[in-house]
Structure 1
Amino acid sequence: MSEDVKEEGTYYTPVTFDMGYDFKNFTLGAGVGIAVGTKYRNCFDEFHILGDNGNYYKTTSNGTTGEFKVFAKYRFPTKNPYPICRFYISAQYSIRTGIGATIGIDI
Protein backbone atom coordinates (compact mmCIF):
# COMPACT_ATOMS: atom_id res chain seq x y z
CA MET A 1 0.00 0.00 0.00
CA SER A 2 1.28 3.43 -0.82
CA GLU A 3 1.29 6.12 1.83
CA ASP A 4 1.01 9.86 1.33
CA VAL A 5 2.06 12.63 3.66
CA LYS A 6 -1.15 14.40 4.62
CA GLU A 7 0.14 16.69 7.32
CA GLU A 8 3.54 17.86 8.48
CA GLY A 9 5.03 20.76 10.36
CA THR A 10 7.24 21.86 13.22
CA TYR A 11 6.32 22.80 16.76
CA TYR A 12 8.55 24.30 19.43
CA THR A 13 8.78 23.64 23.15
CA PRO A 14 10.17 26.82 24.75
CA VAL A 15 11.74 27.25 28.20
CA THR A 16 12.34 30.89 29.14
CA PHE A 17 13.47 32.86 32.16
CA ASP A 18 11.38 36.01 32.55
CA MET A 19 11.94 39.38 34.18
CA GLY A 20 9.52 42.27 34.34
CA TYR A 21 8.51 45.50 35.99
CA ASP A 22 5.29 45.76 38.04
CA PHE A 23 2.86 48.67 37.76
CA LYS A 24 0.34 47.79 40.53
CA ASN A 25 -1.69 44.97 38.89
CA PHE A 26 0.08 45.14 35.51
CA THR A 27 3.49 43.70 34.55
CA LEU A 28 5.59 44.33 31.42
CA GLY A 29 8.54 42.07 30.83
CA ALA A 30 10.81 40.01 28.62
CA GLY A 31 12.22 36.52 28.69
CA VAL A 32 15.18 34.68 27.18
CA GLY A 33 15.78 30.97 26.92
CA ILE A 34 15.83 28.02 24.55
CA ALA A 35 13.33 26.31 22.26
CA VAL A 36 13.53 22.73 20.98
CA GLY A 37 12.01 22.22 17.52
CA THR A 38 10.21 18.96 16.76
CA LYS A 39 9.16 18.05 13.21
CA TYR A 40 6.12 15.83 12.83
CA ARG A 41 4.68 14.00 9.83
CA ASN A 42 1.48 11.97 9.51
CA CYS A 43 1.33 9.40 6.69
CA PHE A 44 -1.98 7.84 5.67
CA ASP A 45 -2.82 5.16 3.11
CA GLU A 46 -5.70 5.22 0.62
CA PHE A 47 -8.17 4.17 3.35
CA HIS A 48 -7.03 7.06 5.60
CA ILE A 49 -5.38 4.66 8.03
CA LEU A 50 -2.19 5.88 9.69
CA GLY A 51 0.63 4.25 7.74
CA ASP A 52 3.82 2.40 8.68
CA ASN A 53 1.97 0.14 11.12
CA GLY A 54 0.56 3.11 13.00
CA ASN A 55 3.84 4.92 13.59
CA TYR A 56 3.74 8.66 13.98
CA TYR A 57 6.91 10.28 12.67
CA LYS A 58 8.58 12.76 15.03
CA THR A 59 12.16 13.93 14.73
CA THR A 60 14.12 16.75 16.32
CA SER A 61 14.68 19.50 13.79
CA ASN A 62 16.98 22.50 14.09
CA GLY A 63 18.08 21.14 17.49
CA THR A 64 17.97 23.66 20.30
CA THR A 65 17.68 27.31 19.30
CA GLY A 66 17.54 30.60 21.18
CA GLU A 67 14.21 32.05 22.25
CA PHE A 68 13.19 35.61 23.16
CA LYS A 69 9.77 36.89 24.21
CA VAL A 70 8.02 39.99 25.47
CA PHE A 71 4.88 39.83 27.59
CA ALA A 72 2.23 41.84 29.38
CA LYS A 73 0.44 40.37 32.41
CA TYR A 74 -2.61 41.67 34.27
CA ARG A 75 -3.33 40.38 37.79
CA PHE A 76 -6.91 40.74 38.91
CA PRO A 77 -7.26 42.87 42.08
CA THR A 78 -7.87 41.29 45.47
CA LYS A 79 -8.95 42.78 48.80
CA ASN A 80 -6.26 40.85 50.68
CA PRO A 81 -3.17 43.08 51.16
CA TYR A 82 -0.87 40.01 51.18
CA PRO A 83 -2.46 37.53 48.78
CA ILE A 84 -1.16 33.96 48.66
CA CYS A 85 -2.21 33.57 45.04
CA ARG A 86 -3.72 35.79 42.36
CA PHE A 87 -5.53 35.06 39.11
CA TYR A 88 -3.92 36.55 35.97
CA ILE A 89 -4.28 36.87 32.21
CA SER A 90 -1.24 37.41 29.99
CA ALA A 91 -0.42 38.12 26.33
CA GLN A 92 2.97 37.44 24.78
CA TYR A 93 4.95 37.44 21.56
CA SER A 94 7.91 35.11 21.08
CA ILE A 95 10.29 34.57 18.17
CA ARG A 96 9.56 30.85 17.69
CA THR A 97 5.92 30.46 18.71
CA GLY A 98 4.48 33.87 17.76
CA ILE A 99 1.53 35.48 19.51
CA GLY A 100 0.00 33.72 22.50
CA ALA A 101 -2.09 34.17 25.61
CA THR A 102 -2.19 32.47 28.99
CA ILE A 103 -4.38 32.48 32.06
CA GLY A 104 -3.43 31.12 35.44
CA ILE A 105 -2.67 31.65 39.09
CA ASP A 106 0.47 33.31 40.49
CA ILE A 107 1.67 31.83 43.77
Structure 2
Amino acid sequence: MTHVVTEGCVHCKYAECITYCPVACFREADTFLVIDPLECIDCGNCVQACPTDAIYPEEELPDELAAALEWNARLSTALPLATTRVQPLADADAWNGTPDKWRSLPPEQAPALG
Protein backbone atom coordinates (compact mmCIF):
# COMPACT_ATOMS: atom_id res chain seq x y z
CA MET A 1 0.00 0.00 0.00
CA THR A 2 0.96 3.62 -0.38
CA HIS A 3 -0.15 7.03 0.78
CA VAL A 4 -1.70 9.39 -1.74
CA VAL A 5 -1.65 13.19 -2.10
CA THR A 6 -5.02 14.54 -3.22
CA GLU A 7 -6.23 17.81 -4.71
CA GLY A 8 -6.13 19.51 -1.31
CA CYS A 9 -2.42 20.10 -1.96
CA VAL A 10 -2.96 21.83 -5.31
CA HIS A 11 -2.10 25.55 -5.14
CA CYS A 12 -1.17 25.23 -1.44
CA LYS A 13 1.95 23.03 -1.22
CA TYR A 14 2.61 23.65 2.46
CA ALA A 15 5.22 20.85 2.27
CA GLU A 16 5.56 20.02 5.98
CA CYS A 17 5.08 16.41 4.90
CA ILE A 18 8.47 16.34 3.17
CA THR A 19 10.36 16.69 6.43
CA TYR A 20 8.41 13.85 8.06
CA CYS A 21 9.09 11.32 5.30
CA PRO A 22 11.89 8.88 6.21
CA VAL A 23 12.38 7.66 2.63
CA ALA A 24 12.07 10.77 0.43
CA CYS A 25 9.08 9.63 -1.60
CA PHE A 26 7.67 13.08 -2.44
CA ARG A 27 7.93 14.59 -5.90
CA GLU A 28 7.45 18.30 -6.54
CA ALA A 29 5.55 20.29 -9.18
CA ASP A 30 5.24 24.07 -9.19
CA THR A 31 1.95 24.09 -7.27
CA PHE A 32 1.65 20.69 -5.57
CA LEU A 33 3.39 17.54 -4.35
CA VAL A 34 2.73 13.87 -5.12
CA ILE A 35 3.93 10.64 -3.50
CA ASP A 36 5.87 8.04 -5.46
CA PRO A 37 4.00 4.80 -4.73
CA LEU A 38 7.12 2.74 -5.43
CA GLU A 39 9.09 4.57 -2.73
CA CYS A 40 6.41 5.09 -0.05
CA ILE A 41 6.81 2.70 2.89
CA ASP A 42 3.31 3.45 4.22
CA CYS A 43 4.54 4.86 7.54
CA GLY A 44 1.80 7.53 7.71
CA ASN A 45 4.01 10.30 9.07
CA CYS A 46 2.94 12.62 6.26
CA VAL A 47 -0.78 12.37 7.03
CA GLN A 48 -0.49 14.08 10.39
CA ALA A 49 1.97 16.66 9.05
CA CYS A 50 -0.32 17.90 6.26
CA PRO A 51 -2.23 21.04 7.34
CA THR A 52 -4.76 20.64 4.49
CA ASP A 53 -5.60 16.98 5.18
CA ALA A 54 -4.63 16.24 1.58
CA ILE A 55 -2.89 12.90 2.20
CA TYR A 56 -4.66 9.57 2.67
CA PRO A 57 -3.64 5.96 3.03
CA GLU A 58 -4.59 4.27 -0.25
CA GLU A 59 -7.11 2.02 1.47
CA GLU A 60 -8.90 5.04 2.99
CA LEU A 61 -9.00 7.17 -0.16
CA PRO A 62 -12.56 8.52 -0.58
CA ASP A 63 -14.28 7.55 -3.83
CA GLU A 64 -14.48 11.19 -4.95
CA LEU A 65 -10.66 11.41 -4.73
CA ALA A 66 -9.90 8.05 -6.38
CA ALA A 67 -8.27 9.79 -9.36
CA ALA A 68 -5.43 10.76 -7.02
CA LEU A 69 -4.03 7.22 -7.08
CA GLU A 70 -3.31 7.35 -10.82
CA TRP A 71 -2.30 11.01 -10.57
CA ASN A 72 0.41 10.31 -7.95
CA ALA A 73 1.72 7.24 -9.79
CA ARG A 74 1.91 8.97 -13.19
CA LEU A 75 3.41 12.27 -12.06
CA SER A 76 5.90 10.74 -9.66
CA THR A 77 7.79 9.35 -12.65
CA ALA A 78 8.02 12.79 -14.27
CA LEU A 79 8.61 15.18 -11.36
CA PRO A 80 11.84 15.85 -9.45
CA LEU A 81 12.44 14.54 -5.95
CA ALA A 82 11.42 16.90 -3.15
CA THR A 83 13.88 16.55 -0.29
CA THR A 84 13.60 19.79 1.64
CA ARG A 85 10.65 21.74 2.89
CA VAL A 86 9.81 24.76 0.77
CA GLN A 87 7.74 27.79 1.64
CA PRO A 88 4.01 27.41 0.97
CA LEU A 89 2.75 29.20 -2.09
CA ALA A 90 2.02 32.87 -1.47
CA ASP A 91 -1.73 32.39 -1.95
CA ALA A 92 -1.91 28.99 -0.24
CA ASP A 93 -4.28 30.13 2.48
CA ALA A 94 -6.69 31.57 -0.10
CA TRP A 95 -6.71 28.24 -2.02
CA ASN A 96 -6.98 26.04 1.08
CA GLY A 97 -10.37 24.31 1.04
CA THR A 98 -11.30 25.42 -2.47
CA PRO A 99 -13.16 22.62 -4.30
CA ASP A 100 -12.30 21.26 -7.76
CA LYS A 101 -8.69 22.46 -7.74
CA TRP A 102 -7.64 19.66 -10.09
CA ARG A 103 -9.59 21.40 -12.87
CA SER A 104 -7.29 24.43 -12.51
CA LEU A 105 -4.22 22.40 -13.53
CA PRO A 106 -2.81 22.19 -17.05
CA PRO A 107 -4.06 19.03 -18.82
CA GLU A 108 -0.68 17.27 -18.55
CA GLN A 109 -0.71 17.71 -14.77
CA ALA A 110 -4.38 17.00 -14.14
CA PRO A 111 -5.66 13.56 -13.16
CA ALA A 112 -8.03 11.63 -15.37
CA LEU A 113 -11.36 12.69 -13.92
CA GLY A 114 -14.37 10.46 -14.58
Larger proportion of helix: 2
Larger proportion of strand: 1
- Higher Cα Rg, which structure: 1
TM-score computed with the length of structure 1 as normaliser:
0.21
